């Protein structure tokens, strides 16, 4: 299938975007840790994150912007469901901080930029294999006695990431997501910005802090963006028919379904052009009215006809 416009390399800018996202993670979360008791600090951090996201999206295609929008909407729903609702992981500030939704957009954009960069594409096979080996080793460590606590969820998500790397349409984007999301999780849990519960809400699945294969769960956001955004873009760019024409077509279809015969509209005669010469008046037939004054020339047989008409009246 043809490559999506958002996946085409954009030169050195790709690595600059990825570097900006990677650098923003510790700056943002470190500022959150330092200013956690300052009133209004969360709002300032949220606005700054939105502004950074908008600045980076200014150089992207319409498709990439729409993909980021899909990720932000999807991830925000997940945040309020699994964090604020079910308590799978909790934020130190409580609820869902304002910088989290745009932060998800930055994560996707960073993974996208890293995965489509020329440097990564030239080493595609090796990077995919290295990513698969790294996530496998990380998940095995989470299941071993060396880990601070058992991490079954991380192993399950690692299996999802391996599947995306092997079967996904754009494995380099998922490899980029492993780098960016793993970095985010290590920094965020290390600074105490959020913490994962020891087990799932059912108590059946043990969770690490962070789960080793967290990027595998995040790949579902990436897959949704890569699949849904092109369809949305086609819908938005589809030319709309005039409302009156659409209603007329619907009425015609209903009439045809009811068995009515709808006659086609006859085309109206074209109006004469102002520059065209006027047509000559038709010649009068013998015995017809002629002339513009209404005078009538007597025709042959008129006397006989008048006489017969008078006899009938008598």
Confidence (pLDDT) at 292: 45
Confidence (pLDDT) at 312: 44
pLDDT tens-digit readout, 103-151? 999 999 999 999 999 999 999 999 999 999 999 999 999 999 999 999 9
The span from the CA of 7 to the CA of 60, in Å, is 10
Is the residue at 276 inside a domain?
no
Is the residue at 220 inside a domain?
yes
- Answer whether residue 243 shows pLDDT above 90: no
Q: What is the DSSP string of the chain?
A: -PPPGGGS--TTHHHHHHHHHHHHHHHHHHHHHHTTTSTTHHHHHHHHHHHHHHHHHTTS-HHHHHHHHHHHHHHHHHIIIIIIIT-SEEETTSS--TTHHHHHHHHHHHHHHHHHSHHHHTTHHHHHHHHHHHHHHHHHHHHSTTSSS--HHHHHHHHHHHHHHHHSS-HHHHHHHHHHHHHHHHHHHHHTSEEE-SB-TTS-SB--SS-TTHHHHHHHHHHHHHHHHHHHHHHHHSPPPPHHHHHHHHHHHHHHHTT---PPPPPPPPPPPTTSPPPPPPPPPTTS--STT---PPPTTHHHHHHHHHHHH-
Is the residue at 287 inside a domain?
no
Confidence (pLDDT) at 232: 86
- Answer whether residue 284 shows pLDDT above 80: no
The span from the CA of 108 to the CA of 26, in Å, is 17
CA angle at 134 for the pair 188 and 126, rounded to the nearest 5°: 125
Burial of 177 by CB count in 10 Å (0-12 exposed, 13-18 middle, 19+ buried)? buried
CB 99, CB 31: distance < 8 Å: no
The percent of residues above 90 in pLDDT, for the chain, comes to 61
Is the residue at 187 inside a domain?
yes
Task: Compute the average pLDDT of residues 79-97.
Answer: 93
Is the residue at 272 inside a domain?
no
pLDDT tens-digit readout, 139-194? 999 999 999 999 999 999 999 999 999 998 889 999 999 999 999 999 999 999 99
- Answer whether residue 290 shows pLDDT above 50: no
CB 232, CB 73: distance < 8 Å: no
Is the residue at 92 inside a domain?
yes
Parent domain of 46 = 5-237
Confidence (pLDDT) at 234: 85
- Per-residue confidence band for 227, with pLDDT thresholds at 50, 70 and 90: confident
Task: Compute the average pLDDT of residues 91-99.
Answer: 93
Confidence (pLDDT) at 313: 46
Task: Compute the average pLDDT of residues 187-212.
Answer: 96
Is the residue at 261 inside a domain?
no
CB 122, CB 148: distance < 8 Å: no
Structural domain total, the chain: 1
- Look over the chain and give the mean of its residue pLDDT values, rounded to a whole number: 84
- Answer whether residue 300 shows pLDDT above 60: no
């Amino acid at each position: 299938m043809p490559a999506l416009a958002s996946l085409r390399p954009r030169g050195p800018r790709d690595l600059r975007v990825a570097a900006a996202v990677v650098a923003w993670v510790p700056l943002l979360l470190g500022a959150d840790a330092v200013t956690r008791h300052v009133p209004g600090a969360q709002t300032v951090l949220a606005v700054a994150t939105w502004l950074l996201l908008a600045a980076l999206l200014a150089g992207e295609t319409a498709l990439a912007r729409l993909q980021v929008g899909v990720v932000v909407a999807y991830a925000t729903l997940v945040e309020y469901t699994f964090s604020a609702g079910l308590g799978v992981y909790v934020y130190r500030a409580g609820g869902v901080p304002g910088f989290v939704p745009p932060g998800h957009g930055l994560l996707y954009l960073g993974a996208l930029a890293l995965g489509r960069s020329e440097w990564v594409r030239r080493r595609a096979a090796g990077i995919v294999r290295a990513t698969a080996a790294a996530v496998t080793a990380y998940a095995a460590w989470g299941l071993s006695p060396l880990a601070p606590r058992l991490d079954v969820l991380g192993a399950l998500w690692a299996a999802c990431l391996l599947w995306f790397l092997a079967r996904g349409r754009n494995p380099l984007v998922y490899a980029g997501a492993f780098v960016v999301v793993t970095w985010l999780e290590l920094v965020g849990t290390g600074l105490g910005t959020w913490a994962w519960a020891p087990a799932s809400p059912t108590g059946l699945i043990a969770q690490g802090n962070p789960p080793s294969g967290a990027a595998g769960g995040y790949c579902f956001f990436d897959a949704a963006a890569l699949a849904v955004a092109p369809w949305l873009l086609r819908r938005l760019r589809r030319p709309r028919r005039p409302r009156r024409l659409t209603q007329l077509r619907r009425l015609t279809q209903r009439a045809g379904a009811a068995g009515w015969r709808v006659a086609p509209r006859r085309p109206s005669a074209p109006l004469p052009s102002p520059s065209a010469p006027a047509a000559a008046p038709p010649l009068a037939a013998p015995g017809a009215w002629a002339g513009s004054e209404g005078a009538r020339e007597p025709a042959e047989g008129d006397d006989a006809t008048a006489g017969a008409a008078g006899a009938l009246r008598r």
